[in-house]
A and B are shown apart, each in its own frame.
Chain A
Amino acid sequence: DGGITQSPKYLFRKEGQNVTLSCEQNLNHDAMYWYRQDPGQGLRLIYYSQIVNDFQKGDIAEGYSVSREKKESFPLTVTSAQKNPTAFYLCASSFGTDYGYTFGSGTRLTVV
């Protein structure tokens, strides 16, 4: 079955630490996206990639970094520069605008 896999489901980060969230898809989608969702809020775009080896900043890219070395993979690193990283992170991919998004199950990141 095709889909998007995010891991881990829960992640705890210590102050000053970088952590990487994994996102893998086997849907053969070109475009991949990372969103952040805070409690009771909508989704805010962090980064997106329309093609391998290329990505663009979204509305809240500061303190985050990404890579797109393979079509299937779009990992997100939350760096120590991100001062308030506690949130629910959602990865999505898209085959095109006729179809909308397919979302992963999310990673809940907590700073301890």
Chain B
Amino acid sequence: ELKVEQNPLFLSMQEGKNYTIYCNYSTTSDRLYWYRQDPGKSLESLFVLLSNGAVKQEGRLMASLDTKARLSTLHITAAVHDLSATYFCAVYTGNQFYFGTGTSLTVIP
């Protein structure tokens, strides 16, 4: 059974601090996606990572992919309140996207 595991599940961090969210998956895949969900809202695409070693950055968020380790990271730099949301990673394999359980991030002043 394919597993996509995120950790931590809950993260409370102070403004201005750095932190990393991890996404481990149990199958071979070179396609990894990150999404953001605000409470009660739909999912918004953040990053699409399509090969080993891929790194993408947007503002205070940076995502990377290591397909050999089956690991993706989402690094948050100098967090601000606007980044509070739930972040999901997803892996594509076998004609389907499989989602992690999500990381609920709260940035506190």
* Majority secondary structure of chain B interface residues (helix, strand, loop or mixed): strand
Q: How far is the CB of B61 from chain A (nearest CB, A)?
A: 15
> For chain B, which range describes its interface: under 10, 10 to 19, 20 to 34, or 35 or more residues?
20 to 34
A84: interface (CB < 8 Å)? no
Q: How far is the CB of B41 from chain A (nearest CB, A)?
A: 7
Q: Which of A59-96 contact B (CB under 8 A)?
A: 90, 92, 94
B18: interface (CB < 8 Å)? no
Q: How far is the CB of B48 from chain A (nearest CB, A)?
A: 5
- A contact residues around B99 at 8 Å (CB): 35, 42-43
Instruction: Let me know if A41 and B45 touch, CB within 8 A.
Output: no
Complex Cα distance A106/B45, Å? 15
Complex Cα distance A100/B99, Å? 12
- Total residue contacts A-B, CB cutoff 8 A: 52
Interface string of A7-23 (1 = CB under 8 A from B): 00000000000000000
Choose one: A35, A90, A97; the contact of B31 (CB below 8 Å): A97
> For chain A, which range describes its interface: under 10, 10 to 19, 20 to 34, or 35 or more residues?
20 to 34
Choose one: A56, A90, A100, A104; the contact of B33 (CB below 8 Å): A100
- B contact residues around A92 at 8 Å (CB): 43
Q: How far is the CB of B76 from chain A (nearest CB, A)?
A: 20
Complex Cα distance A103/B33, Å? 13
